[in-house]
Amino acid sequence: MKKDKIELSKIFIDKKKESFTVADIWELQRLLSYHNDLYYNKEEPIISDYEYDILRDKLEYIESKHNFMSSHNFSNDIWSYKVESTFEKVKHSRPMISLGNTYNEEDLYDFDKRVKKNLHWESLQRKDFYGSEYYLLEKFESSNDGRYVLEFKFDGLGVELIYKNWELVQAITRGNWVEWEDVTQNVMQIANIPKKIAYKKHLEVRGEVVLPLSSFEAMNERAKKEWTKIFSNPRNAASGSLRMKDNSITKQRNLKFFPFDLANFDEYSDEINNKKYFEVINSLYDLGFERVDYFKKMNGISDIIHEIHNFWDVKKQIDFEIDGLVMKVNDISLWQAIGFTEHHPRYAIAYKFPAEILTTQINSVEHQVWKTGTITPVANLEPIIIGWVTVRRATLHNYEEVENLWVHIWDTVFIKRAWEVIPKIISVVQEGRSENAEEINPPKYCPSCETDVIKDGEKVRFYCPNSVDCPAQKSEKLVFAVGKQWFNIDGFWVKQVELFLELWIIHNLVDIFKVWDKVEEILELEGFKQKSVDNLISWVEKAKNVDISMFITALAIHWVGKKTAKTLAKLFHSKESLLEFPYTSEDLIKLDDIWPEIAINVYEYFNNEAHIRILTELSEILNITYYKKLEIIADGNESIYFWKKMCITWSFIWTDWVKIARDDLVKKLEAVWWEFTWSVSKNTDFLLAGEKAGSKKEKAEKLWVEVIDLVFFMNHI
Ligand SMILES: [Zn+2]
C-alpha cells in the first residue's frame, strides 16, 4: 500500500501541470488526504514536506484551472483535514489561514507588485472616502521605517494560547481551519511560555511550538536503541511531543514556543495604540514571551533578497528547524485592503529555503574501508537534488545503525543534507518495503584487499586488520596525512595520491618525502609540468619540520585523534623512544584519557614490525621535534603548563621570599614546553597576573581565560 502511494506520488510530482486531467484531480485529492492522515494523525509521513508542497501546489493549480474552487470547494476539505484525536476539540471563530509560499526569489517581486496593485485598487474603489485614488498606496510607500517585516518561518506546530484575566487559560493547536485540539495541559509544561502576563484583557497569541534540533537528535538516538518510533523530521516529533497523554514527557522534550500572530490583532493593537506589526510583536516580548533573535524591518524586496542570500550563517547557529523566512506588510491597518486569496492572505508570504530533507530509494550499498581500517556501509541512492546539490550517496554510519534503522536495499528513506554536512539517512519508510528488499550485512572479507574482516569484540566496529598493505587504507591514510591540518602538502590531493599509488610511484608516507626520486616519472604524466613538480617538492620540504604530537596524529592510528596524540606525545622524548617504544599498555593507561582499548591499540601499533620500519625511515627523513620533559612524567608530577599558551603582565609584587621579574619568569618556563604570548586572546590558556593587571585581566575574564597569581604559579611549576 505505502509503496504504491510513494510511486504514485513520484509520478504526480514529475507530471507537468499542463497535462493533468479532471480525473487526476480526484486521484490527487485522495492521495493528499492519505498523506495528511499519515502526517497529522500518525506522525509518520512517507514523502517529504517539499514533495507534499509540490503535490498541493499542483492540485491548487488544476482545481482553479477547472474551476473546482468556486463550485465544489474540494480544496478546503483537503486543507481542513480533520485530526482524529482523543484530545478535546474546540470550535473557534476566527480561522487561522496558512501563508502562501514560494521557493522562488522572483516571486517576491511579484508579491510586492500585487500588494501595491491591491492598495491602489482599493483606494480607487473608495476614492471619495480616502480623498485620493493613491491614498493607501502612498501610505504604504511613504513609510521608510519598515514597509515589510522579515521573520523566521518556524517548522513546528501552530498553537494558539488564550489568556484571560492575566492568566493562560487554554492552549489549542491548529487541527484545521476552524476546529482545534485542546492541548492546555501539555502546553503548561513548556517552560518558555508565560503562564501569567501583565495584560488583563482577552488575548489570543498565535505562534509555533518547535522542538530544538538537539532534542530531536537525542530523541531519535534513543528511539533507535529502544526500537521505538523514529521521527523523520523535528516538526512531526514536536507534534508528537505536544500530543503525549503523559505530559511529563512533554516537559522533558524541551519544546519552545515563539509568537507571531494574534487572533484578536485589531483589538490588541488598538489597546496598545500601535498599528505596526513589528511593534505589536515586540510588545509580546515585553509580556514575557521569548524573543526571537531574528526579527527585522525591511523596505525593499532587493534588501530582502540580499538578506536571504546571507542567511545561511544565521541558520546554522539556530537550534531549531526553520524552513524559510516570512515577509509581512508591517502596517496592520493595510492588511484588510490588501486582502486574501481563496487560501492565503495577500499581505504576507513565506519564502521557503531549498528543502534539506527529501525521500529517495537505496539502490545498493557499498562497504567503505577508512584510514584506520574501519569498514562502514555507504548507501548508493537514486540521485536527488537537495539544495542545488545532487545527492547520490549517504552514510549509514555503522552496521549497528543499519540494524537500528532497520534499513534494507531498495527501501525508501528520508535523507537530510544540511550545509556541507555529509548526507545522512534519518529514517526509513517502514511497511513501504518492496518485496525484493535485501538485508545489509557486514562483509566477511575486506572489499579492498580481501583479508578476513574482524569484529571488534562487543563494539560495533568491523575492520580490515591489514593496516600496512590494504590499498584502501593506504590511500585513505596518505590523503589524511598530507591534508591541510597535518603535513599540509599542497599539490597532493586525493586524485594525485590515488594516481601515484596506482602507478606505484609511491607506496607509503616515506615515499612522499622522497618524491624527488620520482621527478622524472611524474613529469611523464599528463598534466604535470616542471613548475608544479617544483612546487610539490618545496611543499614537501616545508612539511619536514614537524612536532611529535602532529606527527602521531598524521599516522592515523585508530582512536588517536589530535587530543590523544597530544597526550601520547609526552612519551616520545627522542628518536629511540619512538622506535623502541619502551612502554607497556599498563604504562599507557596511566596517561590522561587513555582507555584500555586505546592503550592496547597504541601498544600494538608501535610494536608492529611493518610500522617500525616506516617509523624508522620517517624519523630519518623528517625533522621531528620531540617532547622535552620525560622525567616529569616518570615521577608523575607533570607540569600543568605543558604546551600551554601563557600571557604575563608586567607588574608583580615583590615579596620577601621571592623577587621575580618577568624575564626570569620567562626563563623559568623555558624549561617546560610552553608558549609565551604578548597579549591575551581566546587562544591563551593562562594569564599570570600581577598586582596592576588592568586591561589584560579584564580581557582575560571576558574571554574565559584562566587568571592565576604568582603564588599559584610558583607552587605548580
Ligand atoms: Zn583491507
Domain count, the chain: 6
* Confidence at residue 351, expressed as pLDDT on a 0 to 100 scale: 93
468 Cα to the center of ligand 1, angstroms: 9
The residues with which 340 forms a beta bridge, in sequence order, are: 345
Task: Tell whether 119 and 242 lie within a shared domain.
Answer: yes
What pLDDT, in 10s, does the model give residues 17-51? 888 888 888 888 889 888 888 887 777 888 888 88
Residue 466 lies in a domain: no
Q: What percent of the chain has pLDDT over 90?
A: 29
Among 498, 444, 450, residue whose Cα is nearest residue 476: 498
* Confidence at residue 657, expressed as pLDDT on a 0 to 100 scale: 42
Catalytic residue flag (residue 697): no
90 has a pLDDT exceeding 60: no
Cell triple for residue 202? 482577552
195 has a pLDDT exceeding 80: yes
Residue 20 lies in a domain: yes
CATH code of the domain in which 144 resides: 3.30.470.30
Mean pLDDT to the nearest integer, 90-97: 57
462 Cα to the center of ligand 1, angstroms: 11
Catalytic residue among 153, 276, 477, 570: 153
Residue 383 lies in a domain: yes
CATH code of the domain in which 374 resides: 2.40.50.140
CB under 5 Å of ion ligand 1: residues: 446, 448-449, 451, 464, 466, 470
415 Cα to the center of ligand 1, angstroms: 29
Chain-wide mean pLDDT for the chain? 83
- Cα–Cα distance between 606 and 327 in angstroms, integer? 61
Among 188, 143, 139, residue whose Cα is nearest residue 161: 188
- Cα–Cα distance between 490 and 512 in angstroms, integer? 12
* DSSP code for 92: -
Task: Tell whether 630 and 657 lie within a shared domain.
Answer: no
Residue 128 lies in a domain: yes
472 Cα to the center of ligand 1, angstroms: 6
Task: Tell whether 181 and 284 lie within a shared domain.
Answer: yes
Task: Tell whether 446 and 477 lie within a shared domain.
Answer: no
What pLDDT, in 10s, does the model give residues 40-83? 777 788 888 888 888 888 888 888 777 665 434 444 444 444 44
Contact 560, 548 (CB under 8 A): no
What pLDDT, in 10s, does the model give residues 201-243? 989 999 999 999 889 989 888 888 887 888 888 888 888 888 8
357 Cα to the center of ligand 1, angstroms: 34
* Confidence at residue 635, expressed as pLDDT on a 0 to 100 scale: 39
Mean pLDDT to the nearest integer, 315-334: 89
Long-range contacts of 438-446 (CB under 8 A, 24+ apart): 438/408, 438/409, 438/410, 439/408, 439/409, 440/365, 440/377, 440/396, 440/399, 440/402, 440/407, 440/408, 440/409, 441/399, 442/367, 442/375, 442/377, 442/399, 443/367, 443/375, 446/369, 446/375, 446/470, 446/472
Task: Tell whether 475 and 417 lie within a shared domain.
Answer: no
Cell triple for residue 154? 518556524
Contact 412, 428 (CB under 8 A): yes
Task: Tell whether 451 and 487 lie within a shared domain.
Answer: no
Task: Tell whether 266 and 123 lie within a shared domain.
Answer: yes
* Confidence at residue 77, expressed as pLDDT on a 0 to 100 scale: 45
Give residue 498's domain range: 471-525
The CA–CA distances, whole Å, from 451 to 446, 459, 466, 470, 559 equal 5, 20, 7, 8, 21
* Residue ending a domain, choose from 573, 604, 634: 634
Task: Tell whether 126 and 193 lie within a shared domain.
Answer: yes
376 Cα to the center of ligand 1, angstroms: 12
Q: Are strands 348-352 and 100-102 parallel, antiparallel or unpaired?
A: parallel
655 Cα to the center of ligand 1, angstroms: 65
Task: Tell whether 347 and 375 lie within a shared domain.
Answer: no
> pLDDT confidence of 661, banded at 50, 70, 90?
low
Gyration radius (Cα) of the chain, Å: 32
Task: Tell whether 330 and 378 lie within a shared domain.
Answer: no
* Confidence at residue 81, expressed as pLDDT on a 0 to 100 scale: 41
Residue 530 lies in a domain: no
What pLDDT, in 10s, does the model give residues 362-399? 999 999 999 989 999 999 999 988 877 788 999 888 89
Task: Tell whether 613 and 690 lie within a shared domain.
Answer: no
**Angle subtended at Cα 626 by Cα 623 and Cα 631, rounded to the nearest 5 degrees:** 160
> pLDDT confidence of 507, banded at 50, 70, 90?
confident
Residue 464 lies in a domain: no
Q: Which residue has the cell 607533570?
A: 638
* Residue ending a domain, choose from 634, 668, 688: 634
Task: Tell whether 213 and 108 lie within a shared domain.
Answer: yes
Residue 486 lies in a domain: yes
Residue 534 lies in a domain: no
The residues with which 48 forms a beta bridge, in sequence order, are: none
* Confidence at residue 467, expressed as pLDDT on a 0 to 100 scale: 85
